[in-house]
Structure 1
Amino acid sequence: MTTFLTFTILGLVLGAVYAIAASGLVLTYTTSGIFNFAHGAQAMLGTFLYWQFTYGWGWPAWLSLIVVVGVAGPAMGALLHTLIMKGLRETADVTKIVVTVAILLGMVYLSQWIWHPEDARIMEMFFGAGAKIEFGGVVVRVHELICLVVAVAVAIGLRLLFTRTRVGVVMRGAVDDPDLLRLGGHDPDRIAMLSWAMGSTLAVLAGILVTPIGGGALEANQLTLLVIDAFAAAMFGRLRSIPRTFAGAMVLGMAATYVMAFFPTEWTWTGNLRVSLPMIILFVVLIVLPQDRLRVAAVRTRERYRPPTPRSAAVWGVALVAAVFLLALLMDDGSITTFALGMTFAIIALSLTLLTGYAGEINLAPLSFGAVGTIIAFHFGVTGSGLASRLTLWGVLLAVLVTAVVGGLVALPALRLRGLYLALATMAFGVFLSNMVLRDTVEHTVFGVTFSIFPNGTLIVPPLRVGPLDLRDPRTFLMTATVLFALIAVGLAALRAGGYGRRLAAMKDSPAATAMLGQNLVKLKFGVFMLSAAIAGLGGVLMASAGGSVAGDNFSIMASLALVMLTVVGGIGYISGALFGGLMAGVGFTIMVATFNDLAVVHPSMETIYKTIGQLLVVATALIGMGVGENPSGNVHKIVEGYRTLRGAKGLLAGAAAVEAVLYVLALTGVVGNWWFAILTVCLAMALPVAGRMRAEAPVRATPLELAGLDEPYTDELRERLDRELGLPVRERTAGKEASVHAAA
């Protein structure tokens, strides 16, 4: 009985912290309509600030609490709303999600830069671990009591705020009908900013309270994911009800501690299950609870995508293969391997173009499906041993097939979900796979067969060999990955242009109208999920093969979120957006950091400056994602629009091509280095749209009067100009307009 009471109290304490964090989520969503995926990162950043003030600089704990919870937390939330969130009106769900994901990643990168992950940082409980109170033989720490009291106070306070105060009613109206709220003399933006400040404060408070309970050293990713577990509690209340959110948090906390207390110790997967339990509950809650009705009409957003025709996609695919071939001639084997890794990420990103860009279904865990394909290929697709081992074609095909089936199994219970709920369901699947499957390194015996899903935490995946095609050569691997990307891209373009693609586009625009016209939404969603998962599975196998080995961290939810964010930044509805997102997620961070680290080694006197620039670039990548709200169609759309000014400028394009050819020859012969070639190429690409705009805006010389009607056709403007030049009276058309204007006046 004592054990039961002890773990019940521990569960209530953990649930109390979940309740505080989830209440902040409910608060911000209720008043702004935006689900804050960065909630855990805000808690993490506030906790690191508290550690810095208290343990790094020796401030009193009470003063650190006042500064962090009372000042830094509210300021963080208010700034986020003012600078970013209020600009997300009339954007699609995926844009709102990706902006908060970008904030999450930016905060994680910032914290890892300021507080290096290799340095251990420990936080103690309030009043110390020795401050205890005994109730009926059960020992409770003072810190744990504080968590319970604070959670109850937050729940009661928010309940009273929303039901008994004018401010709470106004907060709910800020998202329900902001225009009506303005007519009542209130400012919706100011109300939303207040709610974001309060939500951020609760997140920071939850992070400070939960860290000493969990024990261990402060780590950015773990603390962020720990608070993300509160998402399940928030969904208990359907992001509306504080009491149901509080009850769900308590169930969540006690379930986690009961698993740890009462599951048999010989079950090797008990620890993984306890960590995965919040995401399992989140997935179940999303499936069981009633969903919103289908949208009756399309919601017009600011995203505008122009999918390419199959012909143009084929042309650009050939151009991509040729460009990669020429670039490979300039690279050494190490750079080629890195480039090939980026191309495999781009293939995974193509699954997002199909699923999200074309069909409007959101998947926040594409690398998790890549992990499924990799596990199948490792166990069933490798032949030989040692250096003679090879990945077989049948193993790759089996991996793709099994991943498609897993995608269908994940989609099957989630067929009723859309938008935010679907995003949360796929995120729950990704975190569950990382915690439950990719951490399973022990041996199991089933029907006399002994196996390990992820032996030693690393999977060795050798290159593919099919007849004369051997991908052990880095250049061959790179070109094969590029050709596969181009072929899949052309296939997606053909699919989008066909009847199936038009049905997907209709489902994205208005599911209700699509269903009313006789389309089977279940079949559409099920099919597109399976096809998308198959593409991600193929990319995952190639990614593992490109590096030779992969660990569970290569498929983490953070890596998936980065890939999704960068693909949306490039343009989720464009194939080229997948190329941008894949290359940036796969090799962009690595190249940026490695380059400036190398410069720091070569120039020791400027080591600090070079390393700082490298870290700033990584954080700046996340900042780009925060700006998606201003350019929701993606950077590719913006770049393409800039190049449209070059239509008809054959001389300018020919000159640019000649300059680029000269630069390439100079780089190939070693006259200029590869970095100078890359820098000058980027400068040339950026200068072309500017030159095109200058050309378009240049004043056009007026046609001589004696050539009027010869060099340009007669128009009303030309006739009026002739009248003015010849001193003739205004023609009747113009006079009639002026008379009507005077009459109206």
Structure 2
Amino acid sequence: MTDYLFFMLLGSTAGAIIAGFGLGLLVTHQGSGVVNFSFGAMATWAGYVYADLRRGAYPFPIPGLPERYHFAQDVGFWPAMLLALLTAAGLGLLLHLVVFRPLAQAPALANIVASIGVVIVVISLIDRRFTDNAGLRVGPILPREPVTIMADVTVPRDGLWLAALVIVIAAALWIIQRFTRVGLVVRAAAENEKGAVLLGYSPALLASATFVGASVLGAFIVIMASPMIQLSSTVFTFAFLIPALGAAMVGRFCSIWPTVITGLAIGMAQSSFTKFQGDFSWFPQYGARDGLPFIIIIGAMILLGERLPDRSAVSTWTLPAVPAAKVNVLTVVVPIATAAAALLLLGPLWRGAIMTSLIGIVLALSLVVLTGFGGQTSLAQMAFAGVSGFSLSKFAIEWNVPFPIAPILASLVATMFGVAVGLPALRVRGTNLAIVTLAGGVAITEFVFKNPKYVGDASTGGAQIPNPELFGWDLGLILGDQASRPIFGIFLLLIASILALAVSNIQRSSSGRRMLAVRSNERAASAAGINVARVKLQVFAISSFIAGLGGCLIAYRFGSVSESSFGTIASLTVLAVAYLGGITCVSGAVTAGLLATSGVAFYALSQATGSVGQWEALIGGVLLIVMAVSNPEGIAGGIRARFAARGSAGVIA
């Protein structure tokens, strides 16, 4: 029993971080109505600022400025802490004023996409500004001497100190929330902004204040934990944020103590799982630690049964409009012929960029069906693609299933996973559904992608994939000494074209009209006799099947499948690019494919400037934020609106 107590106490550090992040998410939501998926990334930047100051420098995040201002030496703990917290406060205020305040009346998807854009920007800045960012750790802050509990359980005391600090912060927030006028007004505004206005308070000012306060809280937690948890661009951004979302959901994003208790319990339970794995052969050896938040989130959905209060619920700004599908020579034959000619005539680097864009089109099409037509949200599309890719290796290598049966079967496996993760859509929607799918994607990554039983030995470069072969024709990218074969590009073009036409036909079919009806108004659709639950599951099934095909194409291109290609960042990036291109139409998916990282647009820009390659992610993140704020219909929708406006002006003239 003492061994289990030892591991539980070791988990106090992780539990304190999760609980602290949960409090930050709660404060942000109460003040602004936003579930800030970029909370961990913002706190991580402040943690790096503190670490850099302790090395005698201050990093500048804006490209074009000097990378750092160098001090003569370590500035010391208190100046570094103060400057880092001020940086966090300024970042929180800036992001609220520039990004989230303009989206105050936007649907949940716009806020989610904007948060993803912030995550992409911050991670890219960390990777560019801190080339030694992996495993960066600072000197001790809290007392680290071991402490003995119950006679024979000895653990480092810094994790216990951090947990105590979080509990003190929670108590202070509870007092402010319950017994101060500001706290009462913030709670009232969380339920009804008009009430705060009638009391003489500005909801925008309250939102800014809570954004700043939450940012400072997150930065403080990361700084205090950085001697115990090595800084990296993703560990606080995702590994602690997702369980923190689960803790906040248990507290319904309004109750402090359930959030803190759940966060501490998650960290301690995850640490105890290490002991369980060693003691019990039946206990899962992979995925249990990071799969636990997904189980907690699903449990919170089932038991609590209420979706988050959504301030945009009464907004007249709906999801971007779905334009009529236009299938003609100009929209089909010309693009296909142009792409085919480019694949045959251009060099291997251009050919590679076109191939990347074609795969990006397929992945974006899966989100056009899911979000554009069905109004559902998924942050796990690349997890479904990965399931399909690894399944393809099993079917093709171990069981000798031929092409094209193997990729179809693999995509059907992805479909089953997609429907399973999409089941909560029958009960929740919007931000809650995004949280569930994000946690579901992480659970798939941990349970499946990191288990050698399913994916093989990572030391061999991942699960191997044979070249696709049809009627004796080898369609692979590489054959012997022939690299970057155009035939593989034509194969990708054929698949992308078929799927694009299929998605256009879905939109015009009776099934598509039912999807659009559910997207528009679930209650009205149900009153009209539409089975809403069936339509939602159908949307997830079709979307995950298309994503599965995209995963197979990725596998065929690289000749192997590895977990690194299908992680959480990849899923967020796919949604971001799809939204940027235009998530409601096939032309938007094509635009998204062109804008994909290492795709045609970025390769052309790098050829023109010679230096954009290192800033691809940053540029994409900034464009995404701008598009989410200024044009929710994406680039394709904006172009279409301009042509429509010109046509109307011509008619009037």
When normalised by structure 2's length, the TM-score is 0.88
The residue matched to 1:515 in structure 2 has which SS?
A: helix
Give the Cα–Cα distance (whole angstroms) in 2 for the partners of residues 311 and 96 of structure 1.
32
Counterpart position of 1:418: 429
Say whether 1:618 aligns with 2:617. yes
Counterpart position of 2:274: 260
Counterpart position of 2:211: 196
Say whether the 8 Å CA contact 1:570–1:634 is kept in structure 2.
yes
Q: Tell me how far 1:513 sits from its aligned partner.
A: 1.7
Aligned pair partner of 1:300 in 310, 316, 336: 316
Counterpart position of 1:720: none
Say whether 1:182 aligns with 2:197. yes
Say whether the 8 Å CA contact 1:30–1:175 is kept in structure 2.
yes
Give the Cα–Cα distance (whole angstroms) in 1 for the partners of residues 322 and 529 of structure 2.
26
Counterpart position of 2:163: 148
Say whether the 8 Å CA contact 1:39–1:227 is kept in structure 2.
no
Select between 276-285 and 162-171 the one with higher mean Cα deviation.
Answer: 276-285
Q: Tell me how far 1:235 sits from its aligned partner.
A: 1.1
Say whether the 8 Å CA contact 1:438–1:453 is kept in structure 2.
no
Aligned pair partner of 2:93 in 56, 67, 78: 78
Q: Higher relative contact order at CA 8 Å, sep ≥6: structure 1 or structure 2? A: 2
Give the Cα–Cα distance (whole angstroms) in 1 for the partners of residues 89 and 131 of structure 2.
25
Cα gap change, 1:300/1:482 in structure 2, threshold over 3 Å: closer, same or farther?
farther
Counterpart position of 2:257: 243
Give the Cα–Cα distance (whole angstroms) in 2 for the partners of residues 360 and 117 of structure 1.
41
Q: Tell me how far 1:294 sits from its aligned partner.
A: 12
Deviation track 1:707-736 (CA, whole Å, cap 9, x = no partner) reads: xxxxxxxxxxxxxxxxxxxxxxxxxxxxxx
Aligned pair partner of 2:239 in 226, 250, 256: 226
Counterpart position of 2:481: none
> Quick one: which amino acid aligns to residue 625 of structure 1?
L
> Quick one: which amino acid aligns to residue 220 of structure 2?
L
The residue matched to 1:134 in structure 2 has which SS?
A: strand
Cα gap change, 1:116/1:407 in structure 2, threshold over 3 Å: closer, same or farther?
same
Say whether 1:538 aligns with 2:564. no
Give the Cα–Cα distance (whole angstroms) in 1 for the partners of residues 577 and 37 of structure 2.
16
> Quick one: which amino acid aligns to residue 250 of structure 1?
L
The residue matched to 2:211 in structure 1 has which SS?
A: helix
TM alignment of 1:219-368, pairs within 5 A: 219-228=232-241, 229-264=243-278, 270=285, 272-292=287-307, 300-301=316-317, 303-309=319-325, 311-312=327-328, 315-368=330-383
Give the Cα–Cα distance (whole angstroms) in 2 for the partners of residues 420 and 618 of structure 1.
24
Counterpart position of 2:82: 66
Counterpart position of 2:471: 467
Counterpart position of 2:223: 208
Cα gap change, 1:616/1:336 in structure 2, threshold over 3 Å: closer, same or farther?
closer
Select between 274-283 and 359-368 the one with higher mean Cα deviation.
Answer: 274-283
* Alignment RMSD: 3.1
Aligned pair partner of 1:371 in 386, 397, 401: 386
Cα gap change, 1:18/1:292 in structure 2, threshold over 3 Å: closer, same or farther?
closer
Q: Tell me how far 1:274 sits from its aligned partner.
A: 2.0
Q: Tell me how far 1:591 sits from its aligned partner.
A: 4.9
Select between 300-309 and 359-368 the one with higher mean Cα deviation.
Answer: 300-309
Say whether the 8 Å CA contact 2:8–2:269 is kept in structure 1.
no
Aligned pair partner of 1:517 in 524, 528, 531: 528
Select between 348-357 and 300-309 the one with higher mean Cα deviation.
Answer: 300-309
Deviation track 1:480-525 (CA, whole Å, cap 9, x = no partner) reads: 2223222222222222122221211111111122222222111111
Q: Tell me how far 1:596 sits from its aligned partner.
A: 7.3
Give the Cα–Cα distance (whole angstroms) in 2 for the partners of residues 646 and 245 of structure 1.
53
Cα gap change, 1:455/1:354 in structure 2, threshold over 3 Å: closer, same or farther?
farther
Counterpart position of 1:113: 128
Say whether the 8 Å CA contact 1:596–1:614 is kept in structure 2.
no
Deviation track 1:163-200 (CA, whole Å, cap 9, x = no partner) reads: 21110122123343333422332111111000000111
Give the Cα–Cα distance (whole angstroms) in 1 for the partners of residues 559 and 608 of structure 2.
24
Q: Tell me how far 1:344 sits from its aligned partner.
A: 1.4
Say whether the 8 Å CA contact 2:438–2:568 is kept in structure 1.
yes
Deviation track 1:655-686 (CA, whole Å, cap 9, x = no partner) reads: xxxxxxxxxxxxxxxxxxxxxxxxxxxxxxxx
The residue matched to 1:133 in structure 2 has which SS?
A: strand
> Quick one: which amino acid aligns to residue 55 of structure 2?
Y
Give the Cα–Cα distance (whole angstroms) in 2 for the partners of residues 127 and 91 of structure 1.
42
Say whether the 8 Å CA contact 2:356–2:599 is kept in structure 1.
no
Give the Cα–Cα distance (whole angstroms) in 1 for the partners of residues 14 and 624 of structure 2.
33
Q: Which runs of 5+ in 2 are unaligned?
A: 58-73, 478-484
Deviation track 1:200-253 (CA, whole Å, cap 9, x = no partner) reads: 111112222333333xx4321223122213111111111111111012112211
When normalised by structure 1's length, the TM-score is 0.78
> Quick one: which amino acid aligns to residue 488 of structure 1?
L
Give the Cα–Cα distance (whole angstroms) in 1 for the partners of residues 32 and 389 of structure 2.
40
Counterpart position of 1:44: 44
Aligned pair partner of 2:489 in 474, 478, 481: 478
> Quick one: which amino acid aligns to residue 439 of structure 1?
K
TM alignment of 1:451-462, pairs within 5 A: 452=456, 456=460, 458-462=462-466
Counterpart position of 1:501: 512
Give the Cα–Cα distance (whole angstroms) in 1 for the partners of residues 461 and 344 of structure 2.
36
Q: Tell me how far 1:270 sits from its aligned partner.
A: 2.9
Counterpart position of 2:174: 159
Deviation track 1:291-325 (CA, whole Å, cap 9, x = no partner) reads: 3499999853154424233534x751222201102
Select between 293-302 and 104-113 the one with higher mean Cα deviation.
Answer: 293-302
